[in-house]
A and B are shown apart, each in its own frame.
Chain A
Amino acid sequence: MSIEQTVRDRVSPEEWKLRTDLAACFRLAAHYGWDDLIFTHMSVRIPGPEHHFLINPYNLMFEEITASSLVKIDVEGLAVEPTPHMVNPAGFTIHSALHMAREDAQAVIHLHTPHGQAVSAMRDGLLPLTQTAMIVHHDIAFHDYEGIATDLEERDRLVADMGAKNILMLRNHGTLAVGSSIAVAFLRIYFLERACEAQVHMLTAGRDRLHEPPAAAIDKVRQQSTGPMADMAAERLAWPALLRKLDRLDSGFRC
């Protein structure tokens, strides 16, 4: 019996769907060039009283990750089931802080892209100068850099900095988004990363040579991009389309 059959037979249909979606999320990150070798993590909470999570094995490239190879861990980042893969408890520090503090943070995505790092190091952060930036701009919190995040005490400061926002600009480090589902978190980080990339390009013109949009327009986009319909757009339109794209590329993530 293959490992895939073993895992699929053992877990609930709900967990298998989460595994498929999270594996898809890694494949998409690799597809869009957001991966950083094997580093950075994405995680999702498994519903139930156990406080278990799924996370990537520490030794796989993102394009290698499958639904079966995701590791089930507890809140300390320790594997709760036998796994042939390496786990990285320290890498779960940031994720566990947010999962535990926020019931609505079912999924957490963290990246180290060059564009995300660049904007995280800019004093003014993300500028609301493009429509894409305006979609996420109002939802961004900032957390100052303290060194590679393995210190459990940093969890409290991280949670306090995040507040009720859904996106965290980790200063001099990278980007992070949470969501009520993998689809919702993915769409947030997608808009954020696209906006960061556009910002890096536009700044070649010089900060004082950029056109500022009206404040009313920025506020209008904030209203248009929040609420349950925004989540529906992620879950019912964008995510199924992304899964179809992945199936055309390589449906191996479903194994």
Chain B
Amino acid sequence: MLIPATRPPALLSGTVPLLETDPWFAGLPPACRGWLAAAAARRTLAEGERAYRVGGPPDGLYRVLSGGVRLISYPQPGRSLVNLTVPAGRWFGALSTLDGQAQAHDAVAMGRTALLHLPMADIAALAAVTPDLHRHITLLACQQQRAAIEHVGLLLLRSPPARLARLLLDMADGGRLRINREDLAGRIGLSRQGLHQLLTETEQAGLIRSQYGRIDILDPEGLSALAR
């Protein structure tokens, strides 16, 4: 005997509201919105898990629902650089989706992260009949590029101590943050040795206490002065 469906199916009530509140999605041609909502799938990543890897095939678009994602490239063997941090509400993945080339970075979850994924095959099929979809994806690529220019610009303009101070103040929760050294080095654009030197100096100045996997802020005002 068939059990009548008295509620909207979970699948539809699940993804559509997540997209309807997104300004980029709302601006898409109406013909595309329904199809992409039907194709959208939720993905949950654990801390450090990757949505895709550098060199991997184009994988479509991702929207961060909660948590965050770091886009990390490897300019030299053994050196990593955070090109951009993607917060909740923003999209990533547009670059490979547009040019069809390999992924330019790892997309790594910052803490437990929920994503909404629009698969590549669906985007390609839709774009074949609605070419304007590509123009809309270009807007996401531009948004990402502008954010990256700002991020990298600040990275280059600020001195390494100022970068470290700004990052510690932004990330600390109750005067403390947990982060591994490699991650920290990548985010402020230093080698691990360079970072070690900088942490030692900052600790000697009495601003922080640095331990394995953990940094405590001892002097927030001193750190703020350093960040400026």
Docked Cα-Cα span, A229 to B2, in Å, equals 31
A-B contact pairs, 22 of them (CB 8 A): A227-B125, A228-B121, A228-B125, A228-B128, A229-B125, A229-B126, A229-B128, A229-B129, A231-B125, A232-B35, A232-B122, A236-B35, A237-B38, A240-B11, A244-B5, A244-B9, A244-B11, A245-B2, A248-B2, A248-B4, A248-B5, A249-B2
> Is there a chain A Cβ closer than 8 Å to B16's Cβ?
no
Residue of A nearest to B38 (CB): A236
Q: How far is the CB of B221 from chain A (nearest CB, A)?
A: 51
Give chain B's interface residues, CB within 8 Å of chain A: 2-5, 9, 11, 35, 38-39, 121-122, 124-126, 128-129
Is A232 in contact with B39, judged by CB distance below 8 angstroms?
yes
User: In which size bucket is the chain A interface?
Assistant: 10 to 19
Residues of the B chain whose Cβ atoms lie less than 8 Å from the Cβ of A231:
125
Docked Cα-Cα span, A202 to B128, in Å, equals 38
Q: Taking chain A's interface residues, is the majority helix, strand, or loop, or is none over half, making it mixed?
A: helix
Residues of the A chain whose Cβ atoms lie less than 8 Å from the Cβ of B129:
227, 229
Give chain A's interface residues, CB within 8 Å of chain B: 227-229, 231-232, 236-237, 240, 244-245, 248-249
Docked Cα-Cα span, A248 to B6, in Å, equals 11
Residue of A nearest to B36 (CB): A236
Is B122 in contact with A236, judged by CB distance below 8 angstroms?
yes
Residues of the A chain whose Cβ atoms lie less than 8 Å from the Cβ of B11:
240, 244
Is B3 in contact with A248, judged by CB distance below 8 angstroms?
yes
Which of A227, A236, A245 has the most chain B CB atoms inside 10 A of its CB?
A: A236
Docked Cα-Cα span, A237 to B3, in Å, equals 21
Is A227 in contact with B128, judged by CB distance below 8 angstroms?
yes
Is B2 in contact with A232, judged by CB distance below 8 angstroms?
no
Q: How far is the CB of B165 from chain A (nearest CB, A)?
A: 44
Residues of the A chain whose Cβ atoms lie less than 8 Å from the Cβ of B4:
248
Q: How far is the CB of B172 from chain A (nearest CB, A)?
A: 38
